[in-house]
Amino acid sequence: MRLFASLLCALLLSVAPAFSQTQLAATPPMGWNSWNHFAAHVTDADVRSAADALVSTGMRDAGYVYVNVDDTWQGKRDAQGVLHPNERFPDMKALGDYIHSKGLKFGIYSGPGEKTCGGYAGSLGHEEQDAKMYASWGVDFLKYDLCSFQDNMHKAQAEHPNDPNAANNLMIAAYRKMGDALKATGRPIVYSLCQYGVDQPWKWGPGLGANMWRTTDDIDDSYGRMIAIGFSQAGLSKYAGPGHWNDPDMLEIGNGKMTADEYKTHMSLWVILAAPLLAGNDLSTMTEADKSLLMNKDAIAIDQDSLGKQGDRLYESGDLDVWTKPLSGGRVAVGLFNRSWSVREVSVDLGQIGFPNGGSVRDVWEKKDLGHRSGVVVETLPKHGAALLIVGK
């Protein structure tokens, strides 16, 4: 009996991963991803220089540790079904080793379909084989992008016209399949679903081991698109928490098409949302302004707060918007936003956010303690501007 018990115990230990979904992403993952800047042209050298820059700029030490190669690294599958990288990526294991040697983590990209969005090989029918290969390369993060699998979903729906869930069930099964394959490798690999918010992934993502899921279609480097995504996140806060995060897509800060105030809005909103912070710019050409947004300690601490609560909208009034995020120690982060084309005053009543007797207020972007304040705090914001405050007892 005792022998049986210890055998059973040994068996369980050998199959159960030595890490939990929560530990894998106790706070929203932070790092860099190649897509927003390099898109389909990314090379091994670009990724190595991003890794170098994460270290030299201080971003790694500020928390940005994942170095994620997005779409277009893939070459062809051989007769055994093994997927090889293309000529721009001579040796993925060596790339992973290089990234790890810098104290960083290695991320990769695939999808459940036959093809990725860029038309490169996806993992359909090769899920376990690919997962094992990623683990052998030392991969720490997988972004799994729906793309051509939507064709399979349309087909399933056409074949089962009376089942309204046919397409979505097929999609969920495909995401579960890769989630199980990753777990079976025994390597802790953050699992990031990219399926643009189809069928409310915040409801089923956590159940299949996902650590984050995109909530919307793609961001681009424009104020209009960024705020359309950011402010549409209202109401989703209850679905995020340690180990499982809503992902409103990667950052565009530093890509050059928004103003400094617009990028400030971007960062303020993403940290209030407890969003994964994946920089999407060319780190080797960052300006001081980009660095001060991406590496502001208080802003990062809001995003990474140990309570793991996503923020949500407090109120919206025309082009003015105020959001709050509960923080550890009874503190609250407040994001004040002016979406209009002129200077406007935006206010928050401290009584309304849990401080009837007022509280200490810190201005995150000004890096200034404003002292004890009570009642209504008013911020004067430029067009498309934002302020970020931390209120404590």
CA distances for 290 relative to 51, 57, 61, 164, 278, angstroms = 17, 11, 16, 46, 14
- The active-site residue, picked from 130, 145, 303, 305, is 145
Residue whose tokens read 């990667």: 250
Continuous segment of H or E residues that includes residue 22: helix 21-24
Q: Does 127 bind ligand GLA (CB under 6 A)?
A: no
Continuous segment of H or E residues that includes residue 202: helix 201-204
Q: Does 194 bind ligand GLA (CB under 6 A)?
A: yes
| Of 44, 46, 70, 290, the one binding ligand GLA by CB under 6 A | 70
CA distance 46 to 29: 21
Give 118 or 354: the residue with its C-beta nearer to ligand GLA: 118
Smallest separation (angstroms) from ligand GLA to the CB of 70: 5
Q: Shortest CA distance to 242 belongs to which of 23, 30, 35?
A: 23
Residues 137-166 that bind ligand GLA (CB under 6 A): 145
Smallest separation (angstroms) from ligand GLA to the CB of 319: 28
221 is catalytic: no
Give 116 or 268: the residue with its C-beta nearer to ligand GLA: 116
| Of 71, 127, 130, 282, the one binding ligand GLA by CB under 6 A | 71
CA triple 128-180-218, angle to 5 deg:
90
Q: Does 226 bind ligand GLA (CB under 6 A)?
A: no
Smallest separation (angstroms) from ligand GLA to the CB of 250: 7
Half-sphere exposure of 124 (CA within 13 A, CB side): 18
218 is catalytic: yes
Continuous segment of H or E residues that includes residue 166: helix 166-184
Which residues have a Cβ under 8 Å from the Cβ of 238 and sit 6 or more positions away? none
Give 65 or 69: the residue with its C-beta nearer to ligand GLA: 69
The count of chain residues that interact with ligand GLA, using the rule CB under 6 A, is 9
Give 72 or 324: the residue with its C-beta nearer to ligand GLA: 72
Q: Residue 359 is which amino acid? A: G
CA distance 196 to 214: 5
Q: Does 221 bind ligand GLA (CB under 6 A)?
A: no
Q: Does 35 bind ligand GLA (CB under 6 A)?
A: yes
Q: Does 218 bind ligand GLA (CB under 6 A)?
A: yes
Residues 97-116 that bind ligand GLA (CB under 6 A): 116
By the 10 Å C-beta count (0-12 exposed, 13-18 middle, 19+ buried), 382 is classed as middle
Smallest separation (angstroms) from ligand GLA to the CB of 89: 15
Give 63 or 107: the residue with its C-beta nearer to ligand GLA: 107
Half-sphere exposure of 68 (CA within 13 A, CB side): 32
Continuous segment of H or E residues that includes residue 300: helix 297-303
Residue whose tokens read 């681009």: 220
Q: Does 118 bind ligand GLA (CB under 6 A)?
A: yes
The two tokens of residue 91 are 């040796």
Give 58 or 224: the residue with its C-beta nearer to ligand GLA: 224
- The active-site residue, picked from 218, 261, 312, 319, is 218
Q: Does 252 bind ligand GLA (CB under 6 A)?
A: no
Q: Is the dihedral of CA 253, 255, 260, 262 positive or negative?
A: negative
The two tokens of residue 165 are 């869930």
Smallest separation (angstroms) from ligand GLA to the CB of 286: 21
Smallest separation (angstroms) from ligand GLA to the CB of 217: 7
Continuous segment of H or E residues that includes residue 159: helix 149-159
Q: Residue 231 is which amino acid? A: F
Give 143 or 264: the residue with its C-beta nearer to ligand GLA: 143
Q: Does 42 bind ligand GLA (CB under 6 A)?
A: no
Which residues here bind ligand GLA, judged by CB under 6 A? 35, 70-71, 116-118, 145, 194, 218
Which residues are known to be catalytic? 145, 218
